[in-house]
């Protein structure tokens, strides 16, 4: 199988499973993020891919060749990958161009070829003018660019990125996200990106693998992940959401105070019994009067809290019948006073049943 394949990958530290039964297939040229809170096992997974940690179960293979297995692993230096580290790990004893040339020299490339490639990649990351500087003379963002250049210049089979932006300030981080995306679009290197920042993952990735407690929760495109989360964890970790408990009948799901026909829900649901759904604040709309529309759920109630976030309003709406509370996002023009009566419209297609 082409690409990077993790099969039932697991790593146990003492009695703790840092990673367990992790399955993932990354296609050649694909950019996949491992996203999750700290301690979820994403860095351990990345370091297993790099070869710094051996798995205790399962295996890792690249283009059909096994790299890691509990019985032993190909050492990192023989994997043809490269990595961008959280600390950048730019060698302070070498200049920018020496740093970038290092991997090429290890591959015993002729020196004019090395020079050409180093020049080209420094051009790409806009660092040519600083080629002879030492790392101590560079800013954080510049060091990051050097790290990027050093990693891509060898044209690695896989590029691994370990929270590369976590040490940068907010503005620079924004800029570097797009830089990384741009580099990926240019070189089409299979990339695995570890981050706890969903914004970073969304901007850069083709697909995002959300991890929790050493397990893979869901892997999908950024849009699918947001709009159709499959687990409570994914739904709450990516953006904000409302969880609603209900009961699933043959044709309808009954919630407190209202019911939704199964057919109107975007996902296919089988079986019956208790069910939890996620409704994003953006899947609802507040209005001052009732606006009866087809295939839309209308609830009467009032605004309990309001906060203005700049790009949106964040309201808490309480239903009159059931007392249920919903967080609703509204455009800046939709102004409601706290305590004002209001109607809440829910788009049933955006009600997503989730596994608890």
Q: Can you give the binding site for other proteins, defined by CB under 8 A?
A: 1, 5, 7-8, 23, 25, 50-52, 59, 66-69, 71-83, 85-87, 89-93, 102-103, 106-107, 150, 154, 160, 215-219, 230-231, 234, 248, 267, 269-275, 353-355
CB closer to other proteins out of 270 and 289: 270
CB closer to other proteins out of 107 and 182: 107
CB of 351 to other proteins, least distance (A): 13
CB closer to other proteins out of 73 and 204: 73
Beta-carbon count within 10 A of 18 CB: 21
DSSP secondary structure code for residue 204 in this structure: H
CB of 141 to other proteins, least distance (A): 18
- Cβ(30)–Cβ(14) under 8 Å? no
Q: What is the DSSP string of 100-143?
A: HHHHHHHTT--HHHHHHHHHHHHHHTT-GGGTT--GGGS-HHHH
CB closer to other proteins out of 65 and 129: 65
CB of 142 to other proteins, least distance (A): 17
Phi/psi for 197 (5° steps) reads -100, 110
CB of 71 to other proteins, least distance (A): 5
Nearest to 238 by CA among 25, 36, 67: 36
Distance in angstroms (rounded) separating the CA atoms of residues 316 and 338: 9
CB of 89 to other proteins, least distance (A): 4
CB closer to other proteins out of 92 and 332: 92
CB closer to other proteins out of 155 and 287: 155
CB closer to other proteins out of 215 and 327: 215
CB of 353 to other proteins, least distance (A): 6
CB closer to other proteins out of 51 and 301: 51
Cβ neighbours for 222, distance < 8 A, ≥ 6 positions apart: 201, 202, 205, 207, 208
- Dihedral sign for Cα 116, 114, 101, 82, please: positive
- Cβ(317)–Cβ(302) under 8 Å? yes
CB of 292 to other proteins, least distance (A): 30
Distance in angstroms (rounded) separating the CA atoms of residues 192 and 44: 13
CB of 86 to other proteins, least distance (A): 7
Nearest to 24 by CA among 189, 199, 204, 207: 207
Judge residue 108's burial from the number of C-beta atoms within 10 Å of its C-beta, 0-12 exposed, 13-18 middle, 19 or more buried.
Answer: exposed
- Cβ(330)–Cβ(309) under 8 Å? no
């Amino acid at each position: 199988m082409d690409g990077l394949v993790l099969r039932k990958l697991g790593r146990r530290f003492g009695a703790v499973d840092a990673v367990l039964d992790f399955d993932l297939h990354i296609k050649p040229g694909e950019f996949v993020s491992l996203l999750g809170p700290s301690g979820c096992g994403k860095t351990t997974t990345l370091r297993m891919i790099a070869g710094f940690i051996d798995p205790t179960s399962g295996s890792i293979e690249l283009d059909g060749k096994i790299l890691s297995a509990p019985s032993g692993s190909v050492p990192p230096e023989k994997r043809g990958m490269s990595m961008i580290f959280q600390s950048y790990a730019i060698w302070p004893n070498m200049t920018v161009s020496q740093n970038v040339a290092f991997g090429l020299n290890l591959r015993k490339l002729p020196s004019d070829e090395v020079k050409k490639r180093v020049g080209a990649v420094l051009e790409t990351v806009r660092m040519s003018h600083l080629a002879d500087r030492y790392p101590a003379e560079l800013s954080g963002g510049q060091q990051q660019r050097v790290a990027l250049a050093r990693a891509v210049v060898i044209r690695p089979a896989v590029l691994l990125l370990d929270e590369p932006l976590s040490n940068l300030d907010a503005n620079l981080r924004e800029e570097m996200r797009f830089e990384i995306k741009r580099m990926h679009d240019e070189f089409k290197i299979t990339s695995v990106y570890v981050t706890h920042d969903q914004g970073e993952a969304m901007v850069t990735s083709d697909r995002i693998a959300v991890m929790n407690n050493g397990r893979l929760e869901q892997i999908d495109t950024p849009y699918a992940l947001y709009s159709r989360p499959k687990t409570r964890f994914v739904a709450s970790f990516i953006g904000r959401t409302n969880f609603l408990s209900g009961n699933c009948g043959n044709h309808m799901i009954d919630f407190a105070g209202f019911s939704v026909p199964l057919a109107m829900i975007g996902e296919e649901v089988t079986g019956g019994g208790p069910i939890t759904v996620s409704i994003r604040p953006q899947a609802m709309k507040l209005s001052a009067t009732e606006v009866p529309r087809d295939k839309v759920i209308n609830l009467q109630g009032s605004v309990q809290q309001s906060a203005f976030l700049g790009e949106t309003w964040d309201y808490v709406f309480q239903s009159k019948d059931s007392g249920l509370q919903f967080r609703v996002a509204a455009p800046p023009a939709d102004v409601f006073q706290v305590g004002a009566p209001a109607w809440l419209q829910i788009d049933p297609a955006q009600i997503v049943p989730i596994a608890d």
